[in-house]
Amino acid sequence: MSVKPTTGHTAAFRPGAFHSEPDGRIFSKTVEKNANPVIDGLSPFLGDASGHALEIGSGTGQHIQHFARAFPNLTWTPSEPDATHRASIDAWRAHENSTTLPAITIDAALDWPGQPELQAITPLNLILSLNVIHISPFTVANGIINGAGKTLKPLGLLAFYGPFMENGQHTGDGNAMFDARLRADNPDWGIRDTADLADLGRAAGLKQIALLQMPSNNRILLLQKT
């Protein structure tokens, strides 16, 4: 099947990567593969943190269920601009009898912090965005970071997960080829450089506190509100 990415911009994913359940849940093999490594990477920084956590680009809705179980002291809110994915997120919530809040609509390229739905959950302790900013225009990465500067509480965290460049260099040949495919599909897409994101973070009142190596040559980039 063809599924839209979590930014609301259309992309064709590899056949067999997703399947749908009768109750509206979309199942991604990739999510099940990378959820636990992401949790392991975040655990030293989150510990028993409490408060509100927002996922930007929740996609199928699987990730946030893993996170809610791993970090139960956080109140998790999923967000997604695509209606089909929001239906899947809420179907997963019902299937898991979950404590996560209902999915809200966020287009991260816009000035999303002013949305009424966010007033009840801000300031945020955590913003998490996984595998989003390389399959969306750079305005999405910029919007997430600027919004984090406005909505995170002091010492709150913004966490990006996915493939990254570091100081202008790809971290492996596989990522270089992946980047070329992305840019061939859409010239506004592409693997982002952690140095560029850190620069945007500084301008928004965030500082880089960690860059964690993950399986399959991915990274977790952590920025903290100063």
DSSP string, 42-64: HHHHHTT--EEEEEES-TTSHHH
Residue 178 lies in a domain: yes
Q: How many domains does the chain have?
A: 1
pLDDT in tens, 145-186: 999 999 999 999 999 999 999 999 999 999 999 999 999 999
What residues have CB less than 8 Å from 77, skipping those under 6 apart?
52, 53, 54, 55, 100, 101, 104, 121
Residue 38 lies in a domain: yes
Residue in the block written with tokens 């199928």: 60
The β-bridge partners of 28 are: 18
Residue 54 lies in a domain: yes
The pLDDT of residue 31 is 83
Q: Does 137 score more than 70 pLDDT?
A: yes
CATH at residue 144: 3.40.50.150
Residue 128 lies in a domain: yes
Q: What does pTM read for this prediction?
A: 0.92
Residue 8 lies in a domain: no
Straight-line distance from the first to the last Cα atom of the chain, in angstroms, rounded to the nearest whole number: 43
Residue 2 lies in a domain: no
The pLDDT of residue 30 is 82
Residue 80 lies in a domain: yes
Q: Which residues of 96-115 are buried (b: 16+ CB within 10 A; e: fewer)?
A: bebebbebbebbbbeebbee
Residue 33 lies in a domain: yes
Instruction: Identify the domain containing residue 127 by its residue range.
Output: 18-225
Residue 10 confidence class, pLDDT cut points 50, 70, 90: very low
